[in-house]
Amino acid sequence: MELLQGRIRDYAWGSRTAIARLQGRPVPSDGPEAELWLGAHPGAPATVDRDGSPVSLTELLTAEPDHWLGERLVGRFGIRLPFLLKVLAADAPLSLQAHPDAEQARVGHAADADRVNYVDPYHKPELLVALSEFDALCGFRDPAESAAAIDAFGVPALGPVVAALRGGPAGLREAVRLLLSWPAAERSGLVADVLAAEAAGPDAALARGLAVDYPADPGVLVALLLHHVRLAPGEAIWMPAGNLHAYLRGTGVEIMAASDNVLRGGLTPKRVDVDELLRVLRFEVLDEPVVAPVPVGPGVVTWPVPVDDFALHRVELAAGGPGVRLALPGPRVVLCRVGGLTVDDGVGTVTLAPGQAAVGAASAGPLVIGGEGEAYVATCGLR
């Protein structure tokens, strides 16, 4: 194992406390810190020390793929780390967004010479595990519930949207199209009418809260088509390809396929491509977006996902208790969240404090984690 230095992304919606506090730095930070990236994606690769100088993990994997990745992983994914581990800290809503499936990403990347929609030729399913209470919008809910929520505002212009939703899942596409294609000159008036309505309840509160930051964005109403969930620490949400979602507030550990393909649909000043988003969205009800942890051994849980790009385990160790041995495939990234831990893979041993991470090669042995605290271990999902 070797210490891994992650990269912080300073997106405007980020927290000025969560990541700094995790790493034991002064709070508040100088600016927003939205994500800590612990992987080898070319957008912000983590680094490993070599003779006093930082060397990107991407460079190391490319130079020694058999050592770092292993023959089986290279045969499945090529010479790249197929997963990206993050700490995500949101103090404001992220954009409404979805990600393409593997075939859509491959075709889209080949055709998108300017890389405006498809930065990578890979899909981006993702799992987020809450570290704090975490608010999120994730996947379409029952259209009848959405119809009732929007109808309650009593805004006549929204009649066609309500009618589409009352047609069941078959009407979801038309409802989303109508809202995201709303004439630009009329959007402020639409949101103002929604804010002026006497509707009450959690849906109205959600719309009004989003409208504070986005007073001319029909995404305020698209949000009402989605499940609004509040995760407790340890609960997770699984977002497969084509599912519309937005993270609203909170801190979590996120693992995903190593891709930065994002198609936005609102709640953002960034580029929105309605036609492409409509093409990749899956207009189906997501029955249950919340994933509970599954115990796999003493002090160890995981959140099963139906992809082989990644797997995530959480290890909790009590003071004076035994360590944990994990025989996991491929390269491993270990993040210490709480306490003080030692991580040994038979090749090297590292000591981790909160907010520190380590990386180990596929050619090393099983992980042995000791000490007291909590760690998140990211690996590929090959079995």
Do residues 358 and 14 make contact, with C-beta atoms less than 8 angstroms apart?
A: no
- Residue whose C-alpha is closest to residue 128's, from 303, 7, 10: 303
Q: Is 264 a catalytic residue?
A: yes
Do residues 236 and 131 make contact, with C-beta atoms less than 8 angstroms apart?
A: no
Q: For residue 313, say whether it is annotated as part of any ligand binding site.
A: no
Q: For residue 245, say whether it is annotated as part of any ligand binding site.
A: yes
Buried/exposed code over 29-63 (b: 16+ C-beta within 10 A; e: otherwise): beebbbbbbbbbbeebbbbbeeeeeeebbbebbee
Query: Cα–Cα distance between 70 and 75 in angstroms, integer?
Result: 9
**Count of helices and strands (H, E) across the chain:** 12, 22
Q: For residue 356, say whether it is annotated as part of any ligand binding site.
A: no
How far, in Å, are 261, 292, 298, 301, 316 from residue 295 at the CA level? Answer: 32, 10, 8, 4, 11
Q: For residue 97, say whether it is annotated as part of any ligand binding site.
A: yes
- Residue whose C-alpha is closest to residue 266's, from 94, 88, 12: 94
Catalytic residue among 21, 141, 187, 264: 264
Annotated binding site for Zn(2+): 97, 99, 126, 245
Annotated binding site: 97, 99, 126, 245
Catalytic positions are 264
